[in-house]
Structure 1
Amino acid sequence: MNSSELKDFLDEKVNLYNNPNFIESDPIQIPHLFTVKEDVEIAGFLAATIAWGNRKMIINNAKRMMDLMGNSPYDFVINHKDYHLDDLTPFVHRTFNSDDFKTFVKGLQNIYMNHGGLETIFNNHQEKLSMQPAITEFKKKFFCIEHQQRTTKHISDPNQGSAAKRINMFLRWMVRNDTNGVDFGIWKNISPAALSCPLDVHSGNVARKLGLLTRTQNDGKALFELDNSLRTLNSNDPVKYDFALFGLGVFEGF
């Protein structure tokens, strides 16, 4: 395919998958359980954090996270006492255990009480065409509380060469704003043009088959290459093609 044909093909796939039917089988359904901005943010952040492995398991465990927080994630984060964290002890998702969950609750409390909330940190540290420096800064602030070293692995650092798939996915959820009802678009001061594609094995393999990516590793350098390719297709909203790449890989076995 030439570039025009590729764009038409991918735009068609975006239209196919970027609709409310997508929500039913995706972890984005977790923040869609809520309407209050801070609840949406926290539910989205926690769901994205555990978004690796079997998708059904991810969704079930993310729902369990919400249940353990009384289905009021912002209220739980802000007002919990140490003894409330005991309620989280049964939780585990793969290598993300209850100690990690408790640390994340404390980290989020610190973010909202002392740093203006999730949106403020990412907004204050964004660059014109990259959110990756903001992710690095967010991780620093998130883990300025007392924590086990093992817990830090659950937030990737682009400064260490990571593609930071899960947190880039979370940023897509919060920032992209269209009329299709999947992404929320509740963060108004970050441009979709600055977002990066959530790069994983599925989107990476499809991108390589389509000639959008040549690097074989799914790392930060590959993300930079893929972002540049997608921006040639749509400079204002390049990450919308995540729907196409993911859908082609997961649902169509492209």
Structure 2
Amino acid sequence: MNTLPKLRTRSLAKLRELKPYLDDINNRVERHSYIKDDPVRFMHMYTDKKDMEIAGFLAATMAWGRRDIVIAKADELLKRMDYSPYEFVSNYNQAEFSRFNNFRHRTFKPIDIHGLLLALQQIYTEFRDFEAFWNRCYRIGENQGRHFLAVFHEEFFRRSSDLAGRTVKHVSNPEKGSPCKRLYMYLRWTIRDGSPVDPGIWSFIKPSELMIPFDVHVARQARRYGLLSRRTNDWKSVNELTQTLIQLDPLDPARYDYALFGIGALDYRLPKRFILNRT
């Protein structure tokens, strides 16, 4: 049976040699001008924390595929909510379900939006805001020895009073091996402060605790430049790549999402001498 050759990885010294090049690309990508072409724009539409939380969560949850299509669909969804996400969630009931008739985005259907909104409504009834709920999941995870994203998945859907079984698949769970790209993208938006792109409205964890949002662009470039040895796009790969990036910036490893995405999708380039693997 044919097996793929093992991927080469960089030594610490070689990582340090690569760092200034990644930093340069990162600084060119992570600018205010990035916002208009990315789903993070929906958090920047609002100044109220609760509106920002909900708009960002819905946009991140639907962030599959091309960014322009994701933006168009997230905008359509918020339009159906009169661009007032917190007010809409607070007052949502079965009579409002018809607002989502014919809404589709990839595998998202109206019944999925319905289940998500009911869970959010219950959360805002129990907690002062969405961050407080996330903080509760984090503390439960510490006590149970589980990752807080797995607890989030469990606790979030437990609060939906009318949940289709299919809807739970739209929020990832690391205990199922998922890389949880969309959840960590949302957390990058909400946790990283001082960024020209990420609003940084939460503080229940530190930026140093963030994992890299792991999409196909990030995965491909991480392997190409020797930052990742695993060939599968799973939770273990997210952990391995994040541990590599911690060596470059222990306080903010997820910032390199911008550099790796920029190389993979925005046509930025590293010198060819840094290529270790032809993937």
Q: Calculate the TM-score normalised by the size of structure 1.
A: 0.94
Unaligned runs of 5+ in 1: none
Q: How big is the alpha-carbon RMSD for the aligned residues of Structure 1 and Structure 2? A: 1.6
How far did 1:115 drift? 4.2
Partner secondary structure for residue 26 of structure 2:
helix
Match of 1:242 in 2: 257
Specify the code of the residue in structure 1 equivalent to 2:88.
Answer: F
Identical columns (%):
40
The Cα shift of 1:135 comes to 1.3
Structure 1 residue 217 corresponds to structure 2 residue 232? yes
| 2:266 is the alignment partner of 1:251 | yes
1:70 alignment partner, one of 78, 82, 87: 82
Between structure 1 and structure 2, the one with the greater Rg is: 2
User: How far has the Cα of 1:116 moved from its partner?
Assistant: 4.2
Moved over 4 A (4+): none
Q: How does 1:98-113 map to 2 (within 5 A)?
A: 98-113=110-125
SS class of match (1:222): helix
| Residue 206, structure 1, aligned to residue 221, structure 2 | yes
Structure 2's unaligned 5+ residue stretches are: 1-9, 270-279
Tell me which of 46, 63, 80 is aligned to 1:51: 63
Paired with 2:59 and 2:125, the residues of 1 have a C-alpha distance of: 21
Supply the distance in 2 between the matched residues of 1:33 and 1:192 (Cα, whole angstroms).
23
Is 1:85 matched up with 2:97? yes
Quick check: 1:42 aligned with 2:54? yes
- Any idea what the Cα deviations from partners look like across 1:80-110, whole Å, max 9, x if unmatched? 2220121112211010111101111111111
The amino acid of 2:23's aligned partner reads D
Asked if the contact 1:31/1:44 (under 8 Å) is kept, the reply is yes
Aligned to 1:156: 172
Q: Does 1:188 align with 2:200?
A: no
Give the secondary structure class of the aligned counterpart of 2:16: helix
* Mapped partners of 1:116, 1:156: distance in 2: 24
More deviation in 205-214 or 79-88? 79-88
Residue 7 of structure 1 pairs with residue 22 of structure 2: no
Q: How many residues align?
A: 250
Report if the CA contact (8 A) 2:92-2:118 is conserved.
no
Which residue type is aligned with residue 226 of structure 2? G
Structure of higher RCO (CA pairs closer than 8 Å, 6+ residues apart): 2
> What does 1:134-149 align with in structure 2 at a 5 Å threshold?
134-144=148-158, 145=160, 146-149=162-165
| 8 Å Cα contact 2:60/2:185 also seen in 1 | yes
Instruction: Give the distance between the partners of 2:81 and 2:149, measured in 1 at CA.
Output: 25
- Alpha-carbon contact 1:77-1:105 (below 8 Å) kept: yes
Distance 2:151 2:126 in 1: 15
